[in-house]
Amino acid sequence: MSGFRFESVTKTFGNEEIFRELSLQGAPASFLCVVGKSGVGKSTFLRLLGGFDQAEKGTITIGGEQVTRPQKKCPMVFQSYEQLFPWLPVWENIAFPLRVIGVDKSERRNRAMEALQAVGLEQDAKKYPHQLSGGMKQRVALARAWIAEPQLLLMDEPFGGLDMMTREVLQDLLISLWREKQWTVVFITHDLREAARLSTDLLILRENGSWEMKKNELSQPRDPYSAELNRWIREIEL
C-alpha cells in the first residue's frame, strides 16, 4: 500500500482553473473521499492521480514515483458499466489483471473464485456482464480492481447509479474488504453520507479552485443515520 502526494498541482480547463497549487498527502491504507459540488473537478482529481490526465503545473507521486500515465498497480473502478469486457464471463473479467501479468489459467480461476466469494457472486462466475444487475456489475469491477494487490485503489463514484439499499450493502462490503486488505483508497462521491461512512480523510473541492482536507474521526461502527453522523455532515461546507 502506497501513499501519494500532490505538490503544487494546478490544472486548468479552458479558462477555468480547477485547482490552484493543490498540495496534499494521502497516507498509506487511508481511505480518502473526495467531495464537492457537481463540476468542481472531482473526477479530474482522480484522473490526474491515476495518470489518465496531466496537470499543467506541479508533480504527483505515488509511493515516491512520479505519475505520468495509467499503471496497473493503481486500478480505477469507473462509474460506467462499460468498464467490464462484455465478451468475457464474470470470472475472466475479474481475473483479467492476472492474465496481464502472466498468471496461468488454473491459478487465475482459483483466485477469481476467491474474489467472487468475497463479493458474494460465486453463483455468477460464468455469466456475462450483460446478464448482471448494476450492483452486481460494480461488485465485479471492484473484485477486478483488488485481485492483483493494488498499491492504490481509485474509485470514481462507483455506486453512483445504484439505489440506496444496494449502495449501503456495497458500502458495507467495501469497508469490510478495506479493513482486511488495508488498501489505500481514493473514492469520489457526491453523497456526503457515503463519505461519512467510508472515509478516514475527506477532501473537499470548491468552485474557486480552493480545497480543504479534513480528518474523519467518527467512531466505528458508523450507522448511516446516527445523530453523530448527521451532525458531521451538516458541518461540511461544499
Partner 1 sequence: MKQLRIKAILILACCLIWQGVYWTGMYSPLIFPSLGTIVHALGRDFVEGALIEQFIYSMRLVIEGLLLSIVLGLGIALIARSSSVFRSGIDLLISLAHPLPGVALLPLVILWAGIGEGAVLFIIVHSVLWPFLVSLFGALDRLPQTQQEVADNYEIFGWRRLIWVDLPGSFPGFLSGVKIGWSRAWRALISAEMIFGATSGSGGIGWYLFQKRVFMDTAGLFAGLVVIMVIGILIEGIFFRWIEKRTVIRWGMER
Binding site for partner 1 (CB under 8 A): 50, 52, 69-72, 74-76, 78, 80, 82-83, 85-88, 96-97, 100, 128-131
CB of 188 to partner 1, least distance (A): 15
CB of 70 to partner 1, least distance (A): 5
Q: Rank residues 135 and 224 by Cβ distance to partner 1 and give the closer one.
A: 135
Beta strands in 82-164 (DSSP E): 152-156
CB of 106 to partner 1, least distance (A): 19
CB atoms within 10 A of CB 72: 11
Q: Rank residues 26 and 50 by Cβ distance to partner 1 and give the closer one.
A: 50
Cα 211 to Cα 67, 149, 205: the distances in Å are 21, 30, 5
Give every strand in the sheet of 16-26, ordered side by side: 16-26, 4-13, 57-62, 65-66
CB of 99 to partner 1, least distance (A): 8
Q: 76: which 3 cell numbers? A: 480505477
Q: Rank residues 13 and 85 by Cβ distance to partner 1 and give the closer one.
A: 85
Could you tell me which of 117, 107, 161, 115 has the C-alpha nearest to residue 142? 115
Q: 83: which 3 cell numbers? A: 468498464
